[in-house]
Amino acid sequence: MDLERLRHSASHIMADAVQQLYPGTLLGIGPAIEDGFYYDFDREEPFAPEDLARIEDKMRQIVSSNTPFINETMRKRDAIALFEKRGEKFKVELVKGLAGDEVSIYKHGNFFDLCRGPHVKSTGEVRHFKLLSIAGAYWRGNENNPMLQRIYGTAFDTEKELKAYLKFVEESKKRDHRKLGKELKLFTIQDKIGAGLVLYYPKGAMLRSIIEDYIKKEHLKRGYEFVRGPHIMRSDVWIQSGHYDYYKENMYIFKIEDKEFAIKPMNCPGHMMVYKSSLRSYREFPIRYFELGDVHRHEKSGVLHGLLRVRGFTQDDAHIFCLREQVVGEIAGVIDFVKETMDVFGFKDLEIELSTRPPKFIGKEDDWERAEKALTDSLKNKGLAYNINEGEGAFYGPKIDIKIKDALKRPWQCATIQCDFALPERFDLTYIGQDGKEHRPIMLHRVILGSIERFIGTLIEHYAGEFPMWLSPIQVMLIPISQNQNSYADDLRSTLTKEGFRTKLDTRDEKMQKKIREAELEKIPYMLVVGEKESESKTVSVRSKKKGNIGSLSLGDFIKMAKEEADKRL
User: Strand 287-296 relative to strand 225-226: parallel, antiparallel, unpaired?
Assistant: parallel
Q: What is the DSSP letter of 40?
A: E
DSSP-derived 3-state class of residue 319: strand
Question: In this model, does residue 246 exceed pLDDT 90?
Answer: no
Q: What fold characterizes domain 187-226+264-463?
A: BirA Bifunctional Protein; domain 2 (3.30.930)
What burial class does residue 48 get, using C-beta atoms within 10 Å of its C-beta: 0-12 exposed, 13-18 middle, 19+ buried?
exposed
CA–CA separation, 459 vs 347, rounded Å?
9
Q: What is the mean pLDDT of residues 52-60?
A: 97
What kind and span of H or E run contains 532?
helix 532-537
Answer whether CATH 3.40.50.720 is correct for domain 476-567.
Answer: no
DSSP-derived 3-state class of residue 290: strand
Q: Which residues of 111-144 are buried (b: 16+ CB within 10 A; e: fewer)?
A: bbbbbeeebbebbebbbbbbbbebeebbbbeeee
Q: Whole-number mean pLDDT of the chain?
A: 93
Report the catalytic residues.
268, 297, 315, 317, 319, 399, 445
Per-residue pLDDT tens for 382-393? 999 999 988 888
Question: In this model, does residue 1 exceed pLDDT 80?
Answer: no
Per-residue pLDDT tens for 498-536? 999 999 999 998 888 999 999 999 999 999 999 999 999
Q: What is the mean pLDDT of residues 342-367?
A: 91
CA–CA separation, 158 vs 129, rounded Å?
9
Q: What is the mean pLDDT of residues 249-258?
A: 94
CA 459, 462, 463 angle in degrees (round to 5)?
85
Q: What is the mean pLDDT of residues 73-92?
A: 93
Contact 476, 505 (CB under 8 A): no
What kind and span of H or E run contains 200?
strand 199-200
Runs of H (alpha helix) within 307-421: 327-344, 365-381
Per-residue pLDDT tens for 432-470? 999 999 999 999 999 999 999 999 999 999 999 999 999
CATH topology of 3-166 equal to that of 476-567?
Answer: no
pLDDT, position 308:
94
Contact 276, 227 (CB under 8 A): no
Answer whether CATH 3.40.50.150 is correct for domain 3-166.
Answer: no
CA–CA separation, 299 vs 243, rounded Å?
15
CA–CA separation, 315 vs 255, rounded Å?
26
Q: What is the mean pLDDT of residues 542-549?
A: 90
- Domain locations along the chain: 3-166, 187-226+264-463, 476-567
pLDDT, position 568:
85
Q: What is the mean pLDDT of residues 171-176?
A: 93
Question: In this model, does residue 302 exceed pLDDT 80?
Answer: no
What burial class does residue 436 get, using C-beta atoms within 10 Å of its C-beta: 0-12 exposed, 13-18 middle, 19+ buried?
exposed
pLDDT band at 303, cuts 50/70/90?
confident
pLDDT, position 570:
63
